[in-house]
Chain A
Amino acid sequence: MSRLTEANVKIAHEIIARYPRPKSALIPLLHLAQEQDGWVSDEAMAHLAELVGVTPAEVRGTCTFYEMFKLHPVGTYMVNVCTNIACQLLGGEELLHHAEKTLGIRPGGTTSDGMFTLEDVECIAACTEAPCMQVNYRYGVRLSTDDFDEIIDDLRAGRTPDKLITANPGDQIPSHGTLGLTRQHLDPDKAAGIVPPEQVTENPVWLTTTKGDS
């Protein structure tokens, strides 16, 4: 889709300045790109390559290693239904089939209005609450097919679904890629001094011992 916007380039430079080597900033920058577009486009990767001084192939190598960076446009809401063993035993597959029918798409697909992308995922670490799913990584647990429909209806209507767990009740579900609703900006003078590894001469703090320290 697109390169970083001017505002995001500014943020990118802020992020880059936090690392001893620009390319160490790559993962937060990929998040930034995904936050901007909802997914990570080739143009964005090429732009990041320019910003941190590596080749686009290297950016792509890093980006494709991580499942949660999406290389294709996805819906505003990423619906991940778990069909791993615990969920499967408790109706995860039925939930997925129901989701396919309700949304009219197969796993990997996106609804034509661009609202939802459905994914069939492996364990999302809520086995005790099976069957479960996530919408933009917010959990819905012990879900029935009706619960699923309610969640979708709420989202379509612009309401925060009761059936999704949010930090505070009623918090909105931001669109896919959003990392946080507020971004922390660090004053340069408050930043921890960054020292490139080859210039580090002392042991890290956690390595120093008090007993028999030389």
Chain B
Amino acid sequence: MTATEPQADEVTDGVPVTIDGVEIMAKKGELLIAAAERHGVYIPRFCYHPRMKPVGMCRMCLVEVDTGRGPGLQPSCMLPVSDGMVVQTESDVAKKAQDGVLEFLLINHPLDCPVCDKGGECPLQDQTVAYGPGESRFVEEKRHFEKPIPISDIVYLDRERCILCDRCTRFAGDVAGDPLIHFQARGNETEVNTFPDEPFSSYFSGNTVQICPVGALTAKPYRFKARPWDLTEIASTATMDSVGSRITVQSSRNEVLRYLGVDSDPVNWGWLSDKERFSFEAWNADARLTGPLVRGDKLGNPTDSGDQLVGASWALALGKAGDALRDVDPEKVIVLGGSRMTTESQYAWAKLAKAVIGTDNVDAQLGDGPAAEVLLSLPRATIDQACAPGGTVLVVGADPKETHGALFLRLRHAAMHDGATILELNPRSSGLSQYAAQSLHALPGELGDVVGALAAGGAAGGCDADAIAAMAEALGAADAVTVVLGSGSLGEDPTVMAQAALRLAEQYPNATFLPALHRANVMGAIDAGLAPGMLPGRRRLAGSTAPDTWGSLPASAGLDAEAMLRKADAGDVEVAILLGCDPLADFPDAALAERAFNKVNHLISVDTHLNLTSTGADIVFPAAASATEVDGTFTNMEGRLSPIARKVTPPGTARPDWMIAAELAAQLADDLGFIDLDELWADFAAASPLHADLSMADIAEGGTEGVLLAGSSISRPPAPNVEMADSSDMRLIVTRKMYDAGTLLTNSPSLVELAAGASASINPAQFASLGFTDGDDVTVRSEVGSITLPVVADAGVPAGAVAIEFNQPNASAASLLDSARTVTTVSLERVS
């Protein structure tokens, strides 16, 4: 770089502004408070938040500004910079104003800092010390309110402490789109509150607690748990969905107490969904596995045979697992799951399965998303590309509000504030529908036809020709289309999504794709080779030679999750290994999963908690929680690598997943070739061209942005055919909700109650013609099972379909699903 070249963050067509005697270059349109901060001058503030529109509520940011008409006090958070502006942030006048604002704020603010959760990290406390009056002149009685009042299941409000900064209410309205809290009354009586009996039940409520500049909002999981100065923290990545939101993990005395969102510009902007934020509770749960379990007798003796799961030593459990795996036909071993783990652990397990055991029957997805080969053949988009101002996003088979909270907030922002156009091609209405320019609901199984009709015209999949033509026009008019590609409905075979995605790629050669699959590190799993037919680094197994450190490869490409379960059902599987997954609850065909696991000879589970499936396992290995107890790497939906950091020690003798893989390799008289993470990474980098030039240190040094993997894709497979049997029966749509009966949520005391339960939603016209009334219960029956649940009329469901939420406490739609069919059809019958 030569001296004349601009520095990276120097602004060339900037606005010269003098702040405290120093001339700086501000960006055009930038707010004074932000420009000052970028140049190292911190102006105190309460209401200003860089990710929200300023409102000028608190007046703490008053500074003296001279724009040629003489100096005057102006709120710097409301004032865009202008040419030649001269600003004094520390003049006597500015200081007196700030001092006065603080004195006013403190009139109504209780002095309960010693018992306030915010004490020690409180902007009001800190700024009073830094800018405020040394003493109080206030001798009157302060205001008193009932304290605190719950405004949702998670958040408490202490109105005495509120300084009316409007951050929480702006967040709820402008960012989350859930304006369920609002200023009420006026003047001295103003307070933040909800409508009576209508709680602030937003998926994003925890963010208000983080941004409240005082202790007015507190969250149940952290109340009275610690003082900020007792906490130590580490930068990490949230691991409940594939957004890869950046977080700070804080703990005290080896117990994780809180996650805070970190502002990563390309990813989550500091926001987290409540599921991301509070599910750490599951890692602290009493139900955590603390040692290996094996089948032993009723007296708890692991060496005697019996049918009880009893505690055992690692040596015994590993020995038993080794015995099960030794000399077994590799084709008869299946490995399911693994998206919970770090990318390093995923690599270790991929290597164990493929190079040591010799099976390619490995799948981190559980029959609920397009195959790795399809995903990797699509040109990848970043979140920023999907949310580009003025851009066009096509959301296909995804409901980010339910499954990828932080992505939803980014997309919502793009649509509401940045002029992006959202088009939606979902089986039923979603959390994005109200922000979408157009929503089409293809009937289950006919998504690919609707995509085809976007090019060919005509009506398809229950959508009329005009609507399809309108969407085709919007897509055609866009410079670049980003497709947010979800897993679709669980009631459909994954080939439906695959067909639609591949057709889209064919029809819109410039389109890029952002995979929004269920499961956290699922893209890491695919990149690490934990997918059938794939090797580390987005390479096909077929036609590849074994990586140097691998020795050998499986003889042939393996099966996906559904095919593995069918093989097991046919009695053809000896050993099944579950990597942090619960197919009995989570695979979209419960009957098949149940039959399959009944016939497997040895079921081995590696997990943090026992679940429905692993309660039936023969051997259970306790795993360290990937979020907080291990070091490693997370790969998000974009292919962005960010660190996962160990903050606390795992309970009991739980170990990182990769170590368990290495131990099992040793049992098989082999060696994975690494005994620590550095060696593991070196082995991985040697096996994956994608990661070859990277080290874990590079990823840590990537800061809040992490490291975006270079895009690389494999050749595009042809779009599969989708076979649809003709039937006039109602077709089943099964969608995921943020809160369900999943293992981690049921082990998080603050979240477990939030699963709303499943209901059967049908189009209002059909609801009426079938003679249902509100409050009716129905039995929904498919060829393989039935469940009983309330029926509701919902205009977001296309006629001819029934929509049910997956894996809810009151009903498991998995028991209706028949994975042998492209689409599950059902009948409804009122329960009298």
Q: Which residues of A contact B (CB under 8 A)?
A: 42, 45-46, 54-61, 64-67
Q: How far is the CB of A135 from chain B (nearest CB, A)?
A: 24
Asked if B556 lies at the interface with its beta carbon under 8 angstroms from chain A, I say: no
Assess A42 versus B186: contact at CB under 8 Å? Given A57-B180, A57-B181: no
Partner of B183, one of A42, A45, A61: A61
In contact, B179 and A54 (Cβ under 8 angstroms): yes
Q: How far is the CB of B105 from chain A (nearest CB, A)?
A: 21
Chain B residues near A46 (CB, 8 Å)? 195
Q: Which residue of B lies closest to A42 (CB)?
A: B196
In contact, A56 and B195 (Cβ under 8 angstroms): yes
The 3 closest A-B pairs by CB, nearest first: A61-B182, A56-B195, A57-B182
Q: How far is the CB of B159 from chain A (nearest CB, A)?
A: 14
Asked if B669 lies at the interface with its beta carbon under 8 angstroms from chain A, I say: no
Q: How far is the CA of A60 from the CA of B194 in the complex (A)?
A: 9
Q: How far is the CA of A33 from the CA of B186 in the complex (A)?
A: 21
In contact, A60 and B182 (Cβ under 8 angstroms): yes
Chain B residues near A58 (CB, 8 Å)? 173, 179, 182
Q: How far is the CA of A66 from the CA of B184 in the complex (A)?
A: 10
In contact, A60 and B195 (Cβ under 8 angstroms): yes
Q: Which residue of A lies closest to B181 (CB)?
A: A57
Q: How far is the CA of A155 from the CA of B619 in the complex (A)?
A: 86
Assess A57 versus B179: contact at CB under 8 Å? Given A42-B195, A42-B196: yes
Asked if B1 lies at the interface with its beta carbon under 8 angstroms from chain A, I say: no
Identify which of residues 749-781 in chain B touch chain A, using a CB-to-CB cut-off of 8 Å.
none
Q: How far is the CA of A59 from the CA of B194 in the complex (A)?
A: 11
In contact, B195 and A45 (Cβ under 8 angstroms): yes
Q: How far is the CA of A65 from the CA of B195 in the complex (A)?
A: 14
Q: How far is the CA of A55 from the CA of B182 in the complex (A)?
A: 10
Q: Which residue of B lies closest to A63 (CB)?
A: B184
Q: How far is the CA of A150 from the CA of B223 in the complex (A)?
A: 60
Q: How far is the CA of A57 from the CA of B196 in the complex (A)?
A: 8
In contact, A57 and B198 (Cβ under 8 angstroms): yes
Q: How far is the CB of B177 from chain A (nearest CB, A)?
A: 10
Not counting A42-B196, A57-B193, A61-B184, a sample of 20 additional A-B residue pairs whose C-beta atoms are within 8 angstroms of each other reads A42-B195, A45-B195, A54-B179, A55-B179, A56-B195, A56-B198, A57-B179, A57-B182, A57-B195, A57-B198, A58-B173, A58-B179, A58-B182, A59-B195, A60-B182, A60-B184, A60-B195, A64-B184, A64-B186, A65-B185
Q: Which residue of A lies closest to B194 (CB)?
A: A57
Q: How far is the CA of A88 from the CA of B261 in the complex (A)?
A: 57
Q: List 30 A-B contacts (CB under 8 A).
A: A42-B195, A45-B195, A46-B195, A54-B179, A55-B178, A55-B180, A55-B195, A55-B198, A56-B195, A56-B198, A57-B180, A57-B181, A57-B182, A57-B193, A57-B194, A57-B198, A58-B173, A58-B179, A58-B182, A59-B195, A60-B182, A60-B184, A60-B195, A61-B182, A64-B184, A64-B185, A64-B186, A65-B185, A65-B186, A67-B186
Chain A residues near B173 (CB, 8 Å)? 58
Chain A CB within 10 Å, residue with most, of B179, B193, B195, B198:
B195
Number of residue pairs spanning A and B whose beta carbons lie under 8 angstroms apart: 39
Identify which of residues 246-281 in chain B touch chain A, using a CB-to-CB cut-off of 8 Å.
none
Q: How far is the CB of B455 from chain A (nearest CB, A)?
A: 33
Chain B residues near A64 (CB, 8 Å)? 184-186
One digit per residue, 1 when the CB lies within 8 angstroms of any chain A CB and 0 when it does not, for chain B 183-226 equals 11110000001111010000000000000000000000000000
Q: Which residue of B lies closest to A46 (CB)?
A: B195
Chain A residues near B179 (CB, 8 Å)? 54-55, 57-58
Q: How far is the CA of A61 from the CA of B182 in the complex (A)?
A: 6
Q: How far is the CA of A45 from the CA of B198 in the complex (A)?
A: 12
Chain A CB within 10 Å, residue with most, of B173, B183, B194:
B183
Chain A residues near B178 (CB, 8 Å)? 55
Chain A residues near B185 (CB, 8 Å)? 64-65
Q: Which residue of A lies closest to B187 (CB)?
A: A65
Chain A residues near B182 (CB, 8 Å)? 55, 57-58, 60-61
Q: How far is the CB of B174 from chain A (nearest CB, A)?
A: 13
Q: Which residue of B lies closest to A60 (CB)?
A: B195
Q: How far is the CB of A166 from chain B (nearest CB, A)?
A: 30
One digit per residue, 1 when the CB lies within 8 angstroms of any chain A CB and 0 when it does not, for chain B 164-182 equals 0000000001000011111
Chain B residues near A55 (CB, 8 Å)? 178-180, 182, 195, 198
Q: How far is the CA of A60 from the CA of B196 in the complex (A)?
A: 9
Q: Which residue of B lies closest to A62 (CB)?
A: B182
Q: Which residue of A lies closest to B434 (CB)?
A: A53
Q: How far is the CB of A58 from chain B (nearest CB, A)?
A: 5
Q: Which residue of B lies closest to A59 (CB)?
A: B195
Q: How far is the CB of B167 from chain A (nearest CB, A)?
A: 16
Q: How far is the CB of B204 from chain A (nearest CB, A)?
A: 15
Chain B residues near A66 (CB, 8 Å)? 186
Chain B residues near A67 (CB, 8 Å)? 186
Q: Which residue of B lies closest to A54 (CB)?
A: B179
Q: Which residue of B lies closest to A55 (CB)?
A: B179
Q: How far is the CA of A46 from the CA of B184 in the complex (A)?
A: 15
Q: How far is the CA of A57 from the CA of B183 in the complex (A)?
A: 9
Q: Which residue of A lies closest to B197 (CB)?
A: A42
Chain B residues near A60 (CB, 8 Å)? 182, 184, 193, 195
Q: How far is the CA of A57 from the CA of B182 in the complex (A)?
A: 6
Chain A CB within 10 Å, residue with most, of B173, B182, B183, B194:
B182
Q: How far is the CB of A71 from chain B (nearest CB, A)?
A: 10
Q: How far is the CA of A65 from the CA of B183 in the complex (A)?
A: 9
Q: How far is the CA of A58 from the CA of B177 in the complex (A)?
A: 12
Q: How far is the CA of A54 from the CA of B185 in the complex (A)?
A: 18
Q: How far is the CB of A43 from chain B (nearest CB, A)?
A: 11
Q: Which residue of A lies closest to B185 (CB)?
A: A64
Q: How far is the CA of A177 from the CA of B142 in the complex (A)?
A: 36
Q: How far is the CA of A55 from the CA of B179 in the complex (A)?
A: 6
Chain B residues near A59 (CB, 8 Å)? 195
Chain A residues near B186 (CB, 8 Å)? 64-67
Q: Which residue of A lies closest to B186 (CB)?
A: A65
Chain A residues near B196 (CB, 8 Å)? 42
Chain B residues near A54 (CB, 8 Å)? 179
Q: Which residue of A lies closest to B182 (CB)?
A: A61
Q: How far is the CB of B702 from chain A (nearest CB, A)?
A: 40
Chain A residues near B184 (CB, 8 Å)? 60-61, 64
Q: How far is the CB of B435 from chain A (nearest CB, A)?
A: 13
Q: How far is the CB of B677 from chain A (nearest CB, A)?
A: 48
Chain A residues near B198 (CB, 8 Å)? 55-57
Chain B CB within 10 Å, residue with most, of A42, A54, A55:
A55
Q: How far is the CB of A97 from chain B (nearest CB, A)?
A: 26
Q: How far is the CA of A36 from the CA of B487 in the complex (A)?
A: 50
Chain A residues near B181 (CB, 8 Å)? 57
Chain A residues near B195 (CB, 8 Å)? 42, 45-46, 55-57, 59-60
Q: How far is the CB of B151 from chain A (nearest CB, A)?
A: 10
Chain A residues near B193 (CB, 8 Å)? 57, 60
Q: How far is the CA of A65 from the CA of B184 in the complex (A)?
A: 7
Q: How far is the CA of A86 from the CA of B340 in the complex (A)?
A: 74
Chain A residues near B194 (CB, 8 Å)? 57
Q: How far is the CA of A129 from the CA of B180 in the complex (A)?
A: 45
Q: How far is the CA of A56 from the CA of B194 in the complex (A)?
A: 8
Q: How far is the CB of A53 from chain B (nearest CB, A)?
A: 10
Q: How far is the CA of A164 from the CA of B178 in the complex (A)?
A: 47
Chain B residues near A57 (CB, 8 Å)? 179-182, 193-195, 198
Q: How far is the CB of B796 from chain A (nearest CB, A)?
A: 16
Q: How far is the CA of A67 from the CA of B185 in the complex (A)?
A: 9
Q: Which residue of B lies closest to A53 (CB)?
A: B434
Q: How far is the CA of A54 from the CA of B194 in the complex (A)?
A: 13
Q: How far is the CB of A8 from chain B (nearest CB, A)?
A: 21
Q: How far is the CA of A56 from the CA of B186 in the complex (A)?
A: 17
Q: How far is the CA of A54 from the CA of B198 in the complex (A)?
A: 13
Q: Which residue of A lies closest to B183 (CB)?
A: A61
Q: Which residue of B lies closest to A56 (CB)?
A: B195
Q: How far is the CB of B325 from chain A (nearest CB, A)?
A: 57
